[in-house]
Amino acid sequence: MKIQKLHLYGVNPYRAQDTKSDLIRNRQAVNDRLEISHTAKHLSGKTSFEEVRQQKVENLKNQVQDGSYEVDTRELAVNLLNQYRR
């Protein structure tokens, strides 16, 4: 008994491959987009906290070197007491 291949009309293996490549091309065509709000742009122009902190440290350093830095003993005592109470 001889079984012959069934003729599968309408099934083309190359067509499936073409469809996959079309899908890949379509996926690559989509571009991501990023929008930055006006507020974010405005805030990015401000000086960063690190720069402000560095400037404050420089000012304190200069005051200590000049001998013009004065410690507020009352404020220091209050802060120390608050720290120990925690």
Q: Is residue 59 part of a domain?
A: yes
* pLDDT tens digits, one per residue of 64-76: 999 999 999 999 9
Q: Is the distance from CB of 66 to CB of 60 less than 8 angstroms?
A: no
Distance CA 84, CA 86 (A): 5
Domain count within the chain: 1
Residue by residue, pLDDT tens for the chain (86 residues) are: 566 666 555 555 656 566 666 666 666 656 778 888 888 877 776 667 778 889 999 999 999 999 999 999 999 999 999 999 98
User: What does the pLDDT read at residue 34?
Assistant: 82
How many helices and strands, by DSSP H and E, does the chain display?
Answer: 4, 0
Q: Is residue 5 part of a domain?
A: no
Q: Is residue 81 part of a domain?
A: yes
Instruction: Residue 64: give the domain boundaries.
Output: 49-86
User: What does the pLDDT read at residue 51?
Assistant: 82
Q: Is residue 4 part of a domain?
A: no
Q: Which two tokens stand for residue 51?
A: 């720069």
